[in-house]
Structure 1
């Protein structure tokens, strides 16, 4: 594949999968700018490794795998750990705790289903996002995440139950 063909293919992939990859990375990092950076890194790695793509799976699945690995690499990075320590130290330096009224307002704002999904543990929000928002089949999710098909099914079932419970909490307390 020559450079021009790679450029054309990359542009096509960016248009077709850019938004989906952004939503995926955002479910992990919950920061728009960082999610954009991770998607950009995903496409850079895609471009650099297009020749190694073996067509064992769909290119969409391959891109999702790269994006998830980018997110996981971010969480293992020194920079992320430093920010987490600084945030933790900030909490102990006497930052104010939200009032009861503020908590109720925050709960009522959480009715947006995506926000509720993002509040789930990553292992569940990832599966929900891939299944419902990215419309991947269970087998494709297993390929993307590296999990067994039965593990994906179990996590999907548990995630649905957690969503049901969380939506019920918002309705009761919101």
Structure 2
């Protein structure tokens, strides 16, 4: 009896992790209720004069426990709708072009058979970072990172700046 090596590679079957968080698409319909609850909580708990609206969902997971825990990362932007003239955020509330943006993390716990939803939402102001082009030939590094910090603007330059070519004859070995 001769045993020869096999040609096919057998990979182990991936085990399903019951109860582990699972990435879900950011446009998934199952997120609708969790997102609505998150933005409602954000608007109820902040002291801003205008409502915020979800601009983009960056990442989302769901985890089956005694119910479902949704963990969602999203950005919210200030809208044109003031809290004085509107009792709640509506679909017609448009985001302000230059409105404040918030980077938010939400955990929403949904127990559908008890009609129970609870959530925590934590947000931080989103600072604007943009890249500006330098004039050609200015530097081998063609971009400058500008970070807005409140009323001032801080420029972060890379430590390696172009200082021109070294003079001819220096730094080379003579033959």
**Fold shared per TM-score above 0.5:** no
| Structure (1 or 2) with the larger CA radius of gyration | 2
Give the structure with the higher percent strand: 2
Q: Per the shorter chain, which TM-score range?
A: under 0.3
Give the structure with the higher percent helix: 1
